[in-house]
Amino acid sequence: MLYVALAICLTGQADEKLFVATPLTQTEQFTPGIEGPQCDRAGNIYAVNFGVQQTIGKVSPTGRAELFVTLPGNSTGNGIVFDPKGRMYVADYTGHNVLRIDMATRKIDVFAHNDEMNQPNDLAIAPDGTLYASDPSWEKSTGQLWKIDTSGHSQKIASNMGTTNGIDVSPDGKTLYVNESIQRNLWSFPIMPDGTTGEKKLLKQFPDQGFDGMRCDVDGNLYITRYGKGTVAVVTPDGKEVREIDVLGKQPSNLCFGGPDGRTVYVTEVEHTRIVRFRVDKPGLAWKRWTDSK
């Protein structure tokens, strides 16, 4: 019986279709502001603007969607990350905030606020819990970056950039990756011992369409949503594009890794206001951090 089970397992892996997108949720369950997806330890997917703006929806791995929280005041969410303790952080682009949500009580606090922020867009988290936020000004086609320490203190670490958007930290915690949507540049920054960044290096410039969200797998490959092109590009840490995946809609806004083995990518897609998913060959970095923190 052991050999039969092993054979079935191996056959299933061999027959698995990788890099082929299928819908997870129904259309129009989210607004065109659908963004931010991130998975909790149990594999549920959270994305902003469920049904109406200023909300966060919770989607099970089977696609069942429900309201998780409504954000206070005029706050509207964008990117989402979790820390190792399971707390959710949300970029609030209307309130110049980063919000923190207790997953058990659903209590929402302002974790960081700075009036110098434009529109906090996406978040990344380093191994030590330091947050990094992209902060574009869409009106001016410019952007900046923020470092937010574990006490909620915010510090501007880069300015005079293009429209900063997708952002993530490398598996070793030594490199910050940032893309610029309108300029279509992909940058890397060395992360200094104090959490600030050194001189940026251009990894790649794409010739057409735009960028949005971005996440790393465990090998440091970057999965980047190509807003307007309807794909996710896979780029190595040295800037080589190795793959492009069709995501069944022209406006993918962001993505995350999840599933029981970390090898399912979930993509928020604006044209059809839904989440799609596809299987990949390597687990996501966020999933690995969940398993390492158990």
Evaluate whether 251 touches 257 at the Cβ level (below 8 Å). Answer: no
Q: Please name which of 52, 22, 57, 51 lies closest in space to residue 36, comparing C-alpha atoms.
A: 57
**For residues 185 and 239, what is the distance between their CA atoms, to the nearest angstrom?**
11
**For residues 165 and 118, what is the distance between their CA atoms, to the nearest angstrom?**
12
**For residues 117 and 239, what is the distance between their CA atoms, to the nearest angstrom?**
29
Question: Would you state the CATH architecture of domain 30-220?
Answer: 6 Propeller (2.120)
Residue 293 one-letter amino acid: S
Q: Quote the pLDDT of residue 13.
A: 56
Q: Quote the pLDDT of residue 77.
A: 98
Place of tokens 């398993």: 291
Q: Quote the pLDDT of residue 15.
A: 76
Q: Quote the pLDDT of residue 1.
A: 38
Q: Quote the pLDDT of residue 14.
A: 57
Give tens-digit pLDDT for 58-89: 999 999 999 999 999 999 999 999 999 999 99
Four-CA torsion 65, 66, 69, 72, nearest 10 degrees: 90
Place of tokens 């309108």: 182
Place of tokens 């110098």: 116
Reduced to 3 states (helix: H, G, I; strand: E, B; else coil), residue 81 is: strand
139: burial class by Cβ within 10 Å (0-12, 13-18, 19+)? Answer: exposed
Domain ranges (residues) in the chain: 30-220
What phi, psi does 9 have (nearest 5°)?
Answer: -60, -50
13: burial class by Cβ within 10 Å (0-12, 13-18, 19+)? Answer: exposed
- 10-residue mean pLDDT profile of the chain (294 residues): values are 36 75 97 97 96 98 97 97 96 97 98 96 97 97 98 97 98 98 97 97 95 97 98 97 97 97 98 98 93 79
